[in-house]
Amino acid sequence: MTSSRPTWLWMVLLALVVGPCIPDSAFPQTYIKAGIMLDRAKDTRFQDEDCSSSEHLYGCGAGIDGDPLSSFGDFDTITGLELGLGYAVLPALRLEAAVQYRSDFAFEGHANFSGPDLADRQDVSAELSVLSGMLATYLDVPLPGFALLRYTPINPFIGVGGGLSRIDMGESRMNFPDTSTIVPGGHHISFSWMLTAGLAVSLTRWTVDVAWRYTDHGGIETASGTGRKFCRVASCNLPEVDLPIAPTRGDLKSHGLTVSLRYAF
């Protein structure tokens, strides 16, 4: 009798691990999803794509703080919506296509130009939005200690995905003590990817997902074009001038909470 105990133990463990991966024609395989996102973005630095260009905004070299000439700052809290269509290839494996839109949010930072009259104020601000399309794979986690959750409404999952993001950036406004400079906005489409982990709570055909997600949206770019420099205080007597400006670039990476609702059919 004692020799049979390890056999039964291995059979139970095998059932818990392999069971979620066995196809089941009875379970709903296709689902639609809608969710909301709340993200915090990492700080970013905008620099010239080519600091040696005759139309550079910042130029080469170090700024007043010792860092490369640039604008450095952070973003507002980012809110967004997500719509998706998925298919359960196996009970524990899902493939999903999703569209995400993160509505207008602000970048606020400071430039670091050198000069005795620039130490006090070099504020920089702009508005952005992001539209993304991603293909993702989700796996219900059949690990020891978690596998038993398969028999409850709660199920942990992990996911990874990739796609394209279009980041639209409005005009940037750079405020100095006496003048303001307007930098043309632009848009950029680049590869983006995400990692996620969370818990799903199943209620028959409805499932609520609560997940943490890290997303690298790719690059942010301002377009080459004509900017403007003008006086912002009455004591300034400089004429308004047009400035040809070459592109600048930063990065957008965020992490945060996603809550979504799935309906399987």
Per-domain boundaries in the chain: 4-264
pLDDT score at 219: 92
For the record, the structure tokens of 225 come out as 């074009």
Total residues belonging to the chain = 265
Dihedral pair phi/psi, residue 258, rounded to 5°: -125, 130
Instruction: Find tokens 């493939």 and name the residue.
Output: 95
Tens-place pLDDT, residues 159-206: 999 999 999 999 999 998 888 999 999 899 999 999 999 999 988 889
CA 98 to chain CA mean position, Å: 14
Tens-place pLDDT, residues 21-56: 444 455 568 999 999 999 999 999 999 999 999 999
Higher pLDDT, 138 or 25: 138
pLDDT score at 145: 52
Question: CA 110, CA 120: separation in Å to the nearest integer?
Answer: 10
Q: For the structural domain made of 4-264, what CATH number should be given?
A: 2.40.160.20
Tell me what percent of the chain is helix, strand and coil, each rounded to the nearest 5: 10, 60, 30
| pTM summary value | 0.81
